[in-house]
Chain A
Amino acid sequence: MLQHFGKYLLFMSSLFTRSESPRIIFNRTIDEAILIGINSIVIVAIVSTFIGAVTCVQVSYNLNNAFIPRSTIGFMVREMTILELAPTITSIVLAGKVGSSIAGGLGTMQITEQVDALEVMGINSASYLVLPKVIASLLMFPLLVILAMFLSIAGGYIAGTVSGALTAQEYISGIREDFIAYNIIFALIKSVVFAFLISTISSFRGYYTSGGALEVGAASTTAVTNGVIAVLIADFVCAQLLL
């Protein structure tokens, strides 16, 4: 395991040696940002809306005490969404979607000698292929998390009001109660950390694939599982350090 970690660190350092021109990296980053960010909007929207809705319904189910105001449901949906559900669940979903895509794409390029073709041309293949993906992830993940926060709270609103668990007034009162701006900053910091971990781990797994189609599939699966585990560990570390 230590050997893998060392190889991962060497891989990270190789992204920054003999890098291509900023214009090339910029153009590639835009392409990757579309693939990673724009193409993930639908899945993030669906997941986060339903996460918010389910959270609202389940908190309402547990809130039986008449002395606790119903606006607490809105408060709890907001807190859970911003602190945990939006950054972490969104990142886990993206670890599956984006992580497997990155690992599979790079793995296929590796086994079909496309990576070798880049190296023979004198191009640092790791920098050319991976650095734009990492930068694009660092830019897109926070934006997707912001979208997820908004849609989760909106999902909670729809679920709460349609089911009759609370009124619109109570929900909005709850989500405005005792708002701490730092929680949003914390969530965005987590999203950046998760973006780095998912993009680099997936790229590392894909780049070092060898063999055939079976190995590409295995690399893709390993990238997702490693990414998810890394996200959960980082989630705990961030919470301990920043809260």
Chain B
Amino acid sequence: MTPPDRRIVPASGEVAADRARGRLLSASREASLRRRLAARDERALVELVEIATPWLLGLVGGMLSDADEAEEVVLEAFARAWDKVGTLEGGEQDGLIPWLFRIARNRAIDRLRRRARRRAKYVRAEAAGALGSGKVAPLEPNEAAQPGWYVHTQVHAALGALPAEQREAVELAYFRGFTHSEIARQLAIPIGTVKTRLRLAFDKLRITLGPIKDWVP
């Protein structure tokens, strides 16, 4: 698996302005992007790709442990988003970026499920050292200009507040795409314990991530 590259992607115009504030996408900017995407403005697509691609590659690459396949999934996700963004236009509660995350993550899960030899994922992930906390580590403070840094640090604080065993279960389930039984095998604990840890963890995360859901500049 390709190790994470922490260089900051060059940006211009509005992207750079939001980046300077350490935010992924302001509410007014998101509203504007939605309108322009729905109107088939190709420049809006370029902007969305610039903003979201590094995070999508980080998410999907971590799940698939395969950089090439991750790029394919990200490409598919943008194609799907471009086709369906008109249906999202009125859905103000569903943020543009979380929606894109969900599309990409579902695509990655589909690929994981389709793999004939699921065991190979374990081997690749273990060999690449992807299990555990390696890929969901916080960014360094000097990367505060990275778009989304604010949200990233908030999510990390929420994950960091979880007991270690619950955080581990979330990482394996949500960020690696493992099922209950796979996590139980990986951690050598009963399935019931896995279910309880995940349920408790998500109950807490819903509360701590709530303010981010409603975030406005």
- Indicate whether A and B interact: no
The residues of A with any CB-CB pair to B shorter than 8 Å are: none
The residues of B with any CB-CB pair to A shorter than 8 Å are: none
